[in-house]
């Protein structure tokens, strides 16, 4: 990672300090240096090069060739070159550094209040780069001509902005424009005034936000919808307009101190919040939050808040002075499930009904990138969405790979390309349920293929025939295709995440994954390597009525489990669902189950969590994926004990959860608090994980366990499972670089396909 991170200036400086002559240049294959000098000096130069890199640079490999002297007289930075077929690592976007932050908040600095300030240590990268090598002419900064002062900084090797490709100032750089939704509706377009006008515009935006207005703000990777997080009416209105009834909104806190007042922040959380990638960090909220409160409407049904800190100068400036708010809602500017909006001309038509005002800027966004989401687990980063600040940083697998395109899953889609020893995972693309998102998929594939010069020989895809990603591989890619089982891909992604080779025990717990037998899998215990897998055990199948609608209606899963456990008398049990769901709807599903029409068998773990949530009366219908499971997790108290379950069958073994369902119903009817039941249920599931792994270990000499799949976003389950496994002497691997959910699938698919191509 040597482009856009101040690498050439760094090389220049150390070359000068050791009296080395020659040159350095960026090529599409990385940096090339010719160094000429005394033997000792050249050696010292090389050592310093590898040992004292600038903060954002990374060297995976240095190739050294001896040349005859050409008697250079100076050391220079040369023009970039394009070398066919090779690639350099394109850096992700980097949060504003402390030096730049100081400049924009210092009254007599020439960048005071300037929202597009950046330097070699920070600023936009992936979102503005159109091609490599990374030079201003190949970015969306191309239309802005540097003024003489910026140019002088750019050319001065001792300056922090020496070869800072996105360098800008109020004299020469991008500027803001504020337009109301009405003005946009009547056809007016943003007029970008001189950048010196930023102060006035930002002051107006602060006033609008303070007054409860919803402002669409163009940021780094797309538009955000922003409003004062303390304002109930504004938050409620945004929720209504976004047609987002239950899912939590991400918020941006003015600074770390504000975040600390909102949430219980661990040491790990603190470093995640402040990282150069500036992700949204999910943390447990403190009781009622801020003095003056933040809206209860922000994150209903969960004790967690997704918080991020300002990561562009524009964000910092929004909080400057006394704006009258400390926390802003910052949610992706999109309509429900569509991709984030990033183009000025599209913002009006697509977001007019959502925002009252639009804050535009005229630096184009080359690549749309949503905010990343992470959580702290066991002192490390546990990603839930790997996007801005991470993509497209390659994952170094330290082994040669064929060039492959892996198309990912359907929900939380990402795609993955492999080349040399790298897996290049795209940013979060989203749920491939509409044409817009599919278009985003194609666009992203195009960018990444160009940046990294990848010509895939095969396309890996999920086995589900109806995923749009599968259809893309089969019908559009024009490549040899390789179908890969969903849960095998989950475990392979966890192996790759941890640099594992060979065979492991894989525990894949999630909602929906197409099985080899055409049934819906999701509570899977595998032994596997990149080369293949055996299904050693799974949750016992239950028939689910109505296929996909069961995902949005946990009561259908509850009815399936109750029928399995109690038989026909299930519907006469005294449970909240039979009072709260209209009898005729229950009757329809009951009939479907008893006659076995339009039912599908599933071993899904997600549906089991849904069932328990509905049995306990927590949630019968959901408005977003995983809602019932999250609420069940949040309800859990600190209670010991667990419920019974049984192993049946041999190969694969089945885990029968019916005894647990019976016991849960009994506890509930005995008025045991829901928190205690949820706690015991979680303990039960972690016991299932541990016992199943022990069974597998009896016959296989395997001691490494990979935990993956969307259900492991549940940190209570993850923590207890990992702990239980370690107590039994297992070595446990969880995710650190890619999400356990379907956002990580493409990485696993790529590695499996690579292995299959070698066979
Ligand atoms: Zn900076
Ligand atoms: Zn300038
Ligand atoms: Fe999955």
Q: Using the 8-state DSSP alphabet, how is residue 532 labeled?
A: E
Q: What is the mean pLDDT of residues 667-676?
A: 97
Which residues have a Cβ under 8 Å from the Cβ of 353 and sit 6 or more positions away? 241
Reduce the DSSP state of residue 649 to 3 states and report it.
Answer: coil
Contact 507, 708 (CB under 8 A): yes
Q: 258 CA to middle of ligand 1, Å?
A: 23
Residue 83, pLDDT score: 65
Q: 360 CA to middle of ligand 2, Å?
A: 20
Residue 289 predicted with pLDDT over 60: no
Residues 123-153: tens digit of each pLDDT: 999 999 998 888 899 999 999 999 999 999 9
Residue 483 predicted with pLDDT over 70: yes
Residue 751, pLDDT score: 98
Pairing of strands 416-419, 404-406: antiparallel
Q: 752 CA to middle of ligand 3, Å?
A: 16
Q: 228 CA to middle of ligand 1, Å?
A: 28
Contact 285, 300 (CB under 8 A): no
Reduce the DSSP state of residue 298 to 3 states and report it.
Answer: coil
Residue 462 predicted with pLDDT over 60: yes
Residue whose structure tokens are 């992604």: 493
Residue 216, pLDDT score: 97
Q: What is the mean pLDDT of residues 342-357?
A: 91
Residue 337, pLDDT score: 74
Residue 82, pLDDT score: 67
What are 418's strand-pairing partners? Answer: 423
Q: 54 CA to middle of ligand 1, Å?
A: 13
**Residue 380: exposed, middle, or buried by beta-carbon count in 10 A (0-12, 13-18, 19+)?**
middle
What are 525's strand-pairing partners? Answer: 507, 537
Residues 713-755: tens digit of each pLDDT: 999 999 999 999 999 999 999 999 999 999 999 999 999 999 9
Nearest ligand to residue 96 Cα:
1
Residue 466 predicted with pLDDT over 60: yes
Query: Taking ligand 2, which is a single-atom ion, which protein residues have CB atoms under 5 Å away?
Result: 147, 150, 169, 171-172
Residue 301 predicted with pLDDT over 90: no
Q: Could you tell me which of 597, 695, 610, 699 has the C-alpha nearest to residue 655?
A: 695
Residues 93-131: tens digit of each pLDDT: 999 999 999 999 999 999 999 999 999 889 999 999 998
Residue 290 predicted with pLDDT over 60: no
Nearest ligand to residue 148 Cα:
2
Among 221-230, 294-303, 433-442, 506-515, the minimum mean pLDDT is found in 294-303
Residue 293 predicted with pLDDT over 80: no
Q: What is the mean pLDDT of residues 452-480?
A: 97
Residues 53-77: tens digit of each pLDDT: 887 788 888 899 999 988 889 999 8
Residue 5 predicted with pLDDT over 90: no
Q: 74 CA to middle of ligand 2, Å?
A: 28
Residues 235-276: tens digit of each pLDDT: 999 999 988 778 899 999 999 999 999 999 999 999 999 999
pTM for the model stands at 0.93
- Which segments of 90-242 are extended strands (E)? 176-180, 215-218, 223-228
Q: How far apart (Å, rounded) are the C-alpha atoms in residues 374 and 266?
A: 14
Q: How far apart (Å, rounded) are the C-alpha atoms in residues 633 and 717?
A: 9
Q: Could you tell me which of 281, 285, 295 has the C-alpha nearest to residue 264?
A: 285
Task: Give the side-chain half-sphere CA count within 13 A for 433.
Answer: 7
Q: Could you tell me which of 204, 744, 160 has the C-alpha nearest to residue 498?
A: 744
Q: What is the mean pLDDT of residues 527-545?
A: 97
Q: How far apart (Å, rounded) are the C-alpha atoms in residues 255 and 554?
A: 39
Q: What is the mean pLDDT of residues 495-514?
A: 97
Contact 736, 498 (CB under 8 A): yes
Nearest ligand to residue 104 Cα:
1
Residue 191 predicted with pLDDT over 80: yes
Q: 145 CA to middle of ligand 1, Å?
A: 20
Q: Could you give the residue ranges of the DSSP H alpha helices within 398-485?
A: 435-452, 468-471
Q: 162 CA to middle of ligand 1, Å?
A: 12
Residue 245, pLDDT score: 75
Q: 93 CA to middle of ligand 1, Å?
A: 12
Residue 294, pLDDT score: 86
Residue 193, pLDDT score: 73
Mean pLDDT for the chain? 93
Q: Could you tell me which of 356, 396, 50, 16 has the C-alpha nearest to residue 209?
A: 356
Residue 391 predicted with pLDDT over 90: yes
């Amino acid at each position: 990672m040597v482009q856009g991170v101040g690498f050439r200036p760094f090389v220049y400086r150390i070359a000068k300090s050791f009296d080395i002559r020659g040159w350095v240049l960026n090529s599409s294959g990385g940096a090339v240096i010719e160094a000429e000098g005394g033997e000792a000096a050249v050696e010292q130069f090389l050592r310093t090069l590898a040992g004292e890199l600038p903060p954002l640079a990374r060297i995976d490999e240095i190739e050294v060739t001896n040349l005859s002297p050409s008697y250079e007289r100076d050391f220079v930075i040369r023009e970039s070159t394009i070398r066919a077929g090779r690639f350099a690592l394109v850096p992700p976007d980097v949060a504003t550094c402390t030096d730049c932050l100081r400049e924009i908040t210092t009254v007599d600095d020439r960048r005071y209040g300037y929202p597009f300030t950046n330097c070699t240590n920070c600023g936009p990268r992936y979102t503005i780069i159109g091609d490599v090598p990374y030079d201003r002419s190949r970015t969306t900064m191309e239309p802005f001509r540097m003024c003489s002062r910026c140019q002088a900084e750019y050319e001065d090797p001792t300056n922090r902005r020496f070869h800072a490709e996105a360098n800008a100032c109020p004299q020469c750089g991008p500027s803001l424009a504020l337009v109301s939704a009405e003005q946009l509706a009547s056809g007016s377009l943003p007029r970008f005034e001189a950048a010196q006008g930023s102060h006035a515009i930002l002051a107006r935006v602060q006033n609008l936000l303070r007054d409860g207005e919803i402002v669409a703000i163009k940021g780094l990777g797309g538009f955000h919808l922003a409003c004062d997080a303390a304002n109930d009416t504004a938050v409620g209105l945004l929720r209504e307009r976004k047609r987002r009834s239950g899912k939590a909104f991400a918020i941006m806190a003015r600074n770390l101190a504000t975040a600390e007042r909102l949430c219980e922040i661990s040491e790990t959380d603190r470093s995640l919040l402040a990282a150069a990638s500036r992700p949204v960090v999910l943390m447990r909220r403190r009781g009622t939050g801020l003095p003056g409160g933040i809206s209860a409407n922000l994150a209903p049904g969960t004790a967690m808040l997704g918080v991020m800190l300002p990561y562009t100068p524009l964000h910092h400036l929004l909080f400057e002075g006394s704006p009258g708010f400390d926390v802003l809602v910052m949610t992706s500017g999109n309509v429900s499930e569509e991709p984030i909006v990033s183009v000025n001309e599209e913002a009006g038509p697509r977001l007019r009904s959502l925002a009252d005002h639009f804050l535009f800027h005229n630096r184009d966004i080359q690549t749309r990138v949503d905010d990343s989401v992470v959580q702290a687990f066991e002192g490390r980063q546990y990603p839930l969405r790997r996007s801005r600040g991470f993509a497209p940083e390659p994952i170094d697998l330290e082994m040669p790979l064929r060039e492959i395109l892996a198309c990912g899953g359907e929900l939380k889609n990402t795609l993955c390309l492999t080349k040399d020893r790298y897996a290049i995972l795209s940013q979060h693309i989203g749920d491939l349920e509409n044409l817009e998102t599919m278009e985003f998929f194609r666009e992203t594939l195009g960018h990444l293929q160009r940046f990294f010069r990848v010509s895939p020989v095969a396309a890996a895809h999920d086995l589900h025939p109806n995923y749009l990603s599968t259809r893309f591989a089969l019908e559009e890619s024009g490549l040899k295709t390789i179908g890969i089982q969903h849960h095998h891909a989950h475990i392979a992604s966890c192996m790759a995440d941890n640099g594992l080779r060979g065979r492991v025990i894989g525990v894949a717990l999630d909602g929906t994954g197409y099985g080899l037998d055409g049934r819906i899998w999701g509570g899977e215990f595998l032994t596997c390597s990149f080369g293949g897998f055996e299904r050693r055990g799974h949750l016992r199948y239950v028939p689910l009525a109505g296929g996909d609608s069961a995902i949005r209606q946990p009561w259908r899963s509850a009815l399936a489990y109750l029928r399995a456990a109690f038989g026909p008398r299930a519907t006469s049990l005294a449970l909240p669902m039979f009072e709260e769901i209209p009898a005729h709807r229950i009757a329809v599903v009951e009939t479907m189950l008893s006659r076995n029409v339009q039912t599908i068998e599933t071993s899904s773990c997600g549906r089991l969590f849904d069932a328990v949530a509905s049995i306990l009366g927590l949630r019968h219908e959901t408005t977003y994926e995983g809602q019932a499971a999250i609420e069940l997790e949040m309800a859990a108290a600190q209670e010991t004990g667990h419920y019974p379950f049984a192993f049946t069958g041999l190969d694969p073994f089945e885990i029968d959860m019916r005894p647990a369902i019976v016991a849960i119903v009994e506890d509930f009817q005995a008025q045991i608090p829901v928190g205690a039941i949820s706690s015991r249920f979680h303990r039960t599931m972690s016991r299932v994980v541990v016992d199943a792994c022990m069974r597998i270990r009896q016959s296989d000499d395997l001691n490494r366990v990979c935990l993956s799949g969307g259900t492991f976003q549940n940190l209570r389950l993850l923590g207890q499972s990992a702990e239980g496994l370690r107590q039994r002497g297992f070595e446990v691997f969880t995710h650190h670089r890619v999400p356990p959910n379907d956002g990580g699938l493409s990485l696993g698919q790529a590695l499996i396909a690579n292995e299959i191509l070698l066979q």
